[in-house]
Structure 1
């Protein structure tokens, strides 16, 4: 594992103790945290996208603003629900944002996760099948993959719209503009199962695996996720893609470094940290444990997390409602006191 980023859910609520009380607070603080994270050596700033909820919903203005304020850090999403997306409008927004960033945009996309609305994507005008007589049996997951295919085709510069010879002096098909070279290789699929990870590899998309899997085989979460990663890499090799894939995993990591972190999370550190198993969206699912403790303890525990070791990128989920300064401090501690152990060979930690 060589890269460490943060993943912000962008939660906001006007309640006691929250430093992120409005949607504007969440967006502006998301930008500021990207700036602060770059200053302490963090490699990536990633943002979760949810609709009809008090989370980030339209990521491109925030990503573009963060891109204009930074120079090195990766900027991305984890993940965009493709059921809601107009693929060609998304291609234009993504390309423009990537050009502003100088080629640092990494988009995590997926079928989406359980949400607050019922079929909210239909309100956005996206209905599976849409009664066209051809895709009448299409599911919402099928629609997400169809939108994904159209988006990925558009960002490669494929001709899509018939040219008007009277306007452009030529016949043929026109691509959407602008185009961002290299963006097509920086698309990640958020996979919640081993099977979807294999599918992502076959499609040539990077793998983004979260703190939960919507399946459970009885083995610890990190082992199941490491198996998912191994299957992804094997499928990638079999598909014969020319470039190397990226793989990220997410973890909740809080180093106890001062009175404030002890106040908010000290009691959690004293409780036994273990996986949780439950039903999510009708499927038996396994949720990864939290990592809370002193930096040296976190370094040891994360160095033995099989999936963290198998991935090349670790995304740290941050408690964004505690504010930019708090999260910048914990990210700085992770980069200074935890990251070196994660980047060292596992054998040297035995």
Structure 2
């Protein structure tokens, strides 16, 4: 086993939940089954990605509500909900409801800023108010306030035969402390730290001071912890695409190698005015992957991971990847499955 200052403590995976647009139920069912498998394998958390107007999970709160009834232990997270699409008050009600149904297992991940392709949907999303909408950190702060129980109205009590609360119902104690921020820039990492959130560092980041992906991820972790009240104890979950091949068939190994090779060119340079960078996908047997991760600058700084499942693979591929991840790769990094 590689030498690690911080052995892996919490193992998570992330799925986009792809489905066929003409027959969406099987894809959603596959996602539910994969998370159920993750719980049986001892994973600590399952994250669902959020996609609008695509053939992936568009309503993570609905999917996670279903999972609260099909799992009993594994934490459930969103990675991430773009708040530019959401009303923070209504979202707070949905998140609190899912948390109550789960018994306190929800970990909402969110992001601020104009959402992807906002110019294409603003007319449908905010036909009369797009210019007035606060799409920045203030939107996230409103959500945190509502989850924490801040008043949303000056009235509470009985009106006729109905009883009203002045805060979001149901109230889910502790939920506000389990909110994660998906940060890809130094500014967002610092904001998340100052506001006491947890941090999700993605496999897509802004190359602000370096074009070395590992160093960029590490700089986000360090900036976040430098401004967080908990300092070095502040929680960070690292995102990478990691594909162990120990029990893969020859056909699967070939598929995985071709997938990584097709995506590799995009990792060799920065993209666009924001200088976005993508992490290379890591493919190999668990012993090889453990050595590569142990040498990864950002991985060495964390003890939680959210390894992303490739978008376009088949259900059986995900079963193999998750099984190898939980039984071979993660134990080689010091992790032990939850009971």
- SS at structure 2 position matched to 1:160: coil
C-alpha contact (below 8 Å) 1:7/1:78 kept by paired residues? yes
Question: RMSD of the TM alignment (CA)?
Answer: 2.9
Task: After TM superposition, give the deviation of residue 41 of structure 1 in Å.
Answer: 1.5
Q: What's 1:6 paired with? A: 13
Task: After TM superposition, give the deviation of residue 144 of structure 1 in Å.
Answer: 3.8
Question: 1:120-150: CA deviations, max 9, x gaps?
Answer: 25522384542xxxxxxxxx7x524222111
State how far apart, in whole Å, the 2-side matches of 1:129 and 1:268 are: 41
TM-score (norm: length of structure 1): 0.83
Q: Is structure 2 residue 268 aligned with structure 1 residue 279?
A: no
Q: What's 2:320 paired with? A: 329
Q: Is structure 2 residue 235 aligned with structure 1 residue 258?
A: no
Q: Is structure 2 residue 151 aligned with structure 1 residue 159?
A: yes
Task: After TM superposition, give the deviation of residue 10 of structure 1 in Å.
Answer: 2.3
C-alpha contact (below 8 Å) 2:112/2:140 kept by paired residues? no
Q: What's 1:190 paired with? A: 182
- SS at structure 1 position matched to 2:172: coil
In 2 relative to 1, CA 192–123 (structure 1 residues): closer, same or farther, beyond 3 Å?
A: same
Question: 1:70-121: CA deviations, max 9, x gaps?
Answer: 1111101111000011111111100010011111100110026863562525
State how far apart, in whole Å, the 1-side matches of 2:86 and 2:307 are: 26
State how far apart, in whole Å, the 2-side matches of 1:62 and 1:313 are: 23
- SS at structure 1 position matched to 2:80: strand
State how far apart, in whole Å, the 1-side matches of 2:172 and 2:180 are: 16
C-alpha contact (below 8 Å) 1:273/1:291 kept by paired residues? no
User: Which range is displaced more, 227-236 or 213-222?
Assistant: 213-222
In 2 relative to 1, CA 214–121 (structure 1 residues): closer, same or farther, beyond 3 Å?
A: farther
C-alpha contact (below 8 Å) 1:50/1:56 kept by paired residues? yes
The correspondence of residues 20-35 of structure 1 with structure 2, limited to 5 A, is: 22-35=23-36
State how far apart, in whole Å, the 1-side matches of 2:50 and 2:236 are: 19
The correspondence of residues 212-251 of structure 1 with structure 2, limited to 5 A, is: 212-236=204-228, 240=229, 244-251=233-240
State how far apart, in whole Å, the 2-side matches of 1:154 and 1:226 are: 32
- SS at structure 2 position matched to 1:29: helix
Q: What's 2:72 paired with? A: 71
State how far apart, in whole Å, the 2-side matches of 1:294 and 1:113 are: 39
Spell out structure 1 runs of 4+ moving beyond 6 A: 269-274
State how far apart, in whole Å, the 2-side matches of 1:330 and 1:129 are: 45
State how far apart, in whole Å, the 2-side matches of 1:248 and 1:263 are: 29
C-alpha contact (below 8 Å) 1:5/1:42 kept by paired residues? yes
Question: 1:202-238: CA deviations, max 9, x gaps?
Answer: 11111111001122433421122112101111111xx
User: Which range is displaced more, 284-293 or 240-249?
Assistant: 240-249
Specify every segment of 5 or more residues in structure 2 that has no aligned partner in the other structure, as ranges.
1-7
- SS at structure 2 position matched to 1:179: coil
Matched residues, number: 324
User: Which range is displaced more, 67-76 or 5-14?
Assistant: 5-14
Task: After TM superposition, give the deviation of residue 261 of structure 1 in Å.
Answer: 2.1
In 2 relative to 1, CA 178–269 (structure 1 residues): closer, same or farther, beyond 3 Å?
A: closer
Task: After TM superposition, give the deviation of residue 320 of structure 1 in Å.
Answer: 5.0
TM-score (norm: length of structure 2): 0.86
- SS at structure 2 position matched to 1:322: coil
